[in-house]
Amino acid sequence: MNRLKGKNIIITGATSGIGKATAYQCAELGATLLLTGRREERLNSIQKELSNQFETNVEIFPFDIADYNACLAFVNSLSVDVDILINNAGLALGKDAVFELNKEEIDHVFNVNVHGLLSLTRLISPRMKKRNKGHIINIGSAAGHEAYAGGSVYCATKHAVKAITESTKKDLHGTNIRVSMISPGMVETDFSNVRFRGNAEKASSVYKGFQPLIADDIAEIILFVANRPEHVNIMDTIIYPVSQSSPTMVHRNE
């Protein structure tokens, strides 16, 4: 059953990876999309492709989610009710040990992964609360359930997303607003290329010797969670490729 047709869905970080894949799958089901991202050219291209392929309305909003004033301007510009907020935007930078971290990179990762997610949740949730209706879906990570060496910053932000998700559900206790989190393991997207600062060889080595997840795999899970009946709230899902058993356990064929 398609319960998403005609729903107004915000997807942050929609220019690539999981966000982009989710946009395409939502468009296929006839949802109205409000797509955000920093790269305006990519948003324009995605808007054109989706409008040509599907019977859907797509609006784009190029801005940096780490900028609270930009988030505020975006929310104030909305003329429609938001049915689903998918807080997808996120990144990692490096796998440096805690004693080698770069202060600017620490701030950037926290500003996007935590502050940006909190900003939009803070700004959208009162509107949902007023309607007593809506769904907030946060994209977490297996790294939010188990930390690993070289992941002090990224793991901390995804542990924060887990805490924010659980607290938000409790803050909205007694309402009909649903709150969920999706926690992927290893997904082959631009993620590792960004993490390793454009080192394509290092990024591709992350996925060698096994079949990783792809963005569409996670998008399918997001849609499954969003498409449940309104009395059903899936709080979290942890999704691994079959070759992965934890953030650090991956079976590779040499």
Q: Which of 24, 154, 207, 240 is catalytic?
A: 154
Q: How many CB atoms lie within 10 A of CB 69?
A: 9
| Residues 46 and 15: beta-carbon distance below 8 Å | yes
Would you call 158 a catalytic residue per the annotation?
A: yes
Q: Which two tokens stand for residue 50?
A: 């989706």
Give the neighbor-by-neighbor strand order of the sheet with 134-139: 58-62, 32-37, 8-11, 84-87, 134-139, 177-184, 236-239
CA–CA distance, 166 with 39 (Å, rounded to integer): 31
Q: How many CB atoms lie within 10 A of CB 207?
A: 18
Would you call 103 a catalytic residue per the annotation?
A: no
Residues whose CB falls within 8 Å of the CB of residue 134, separated by 6 or more in sequence, listed in order: 82, 83, 84, 85, 124, 125, 127, 128, 177, 178
Q: Which of 20, 158, 162, 169 is catalytic?
A: 158
Supply angle C-alpha 145, 120, 234, rounded to 5. 45
**Residues identified as active-site:** 154, 158
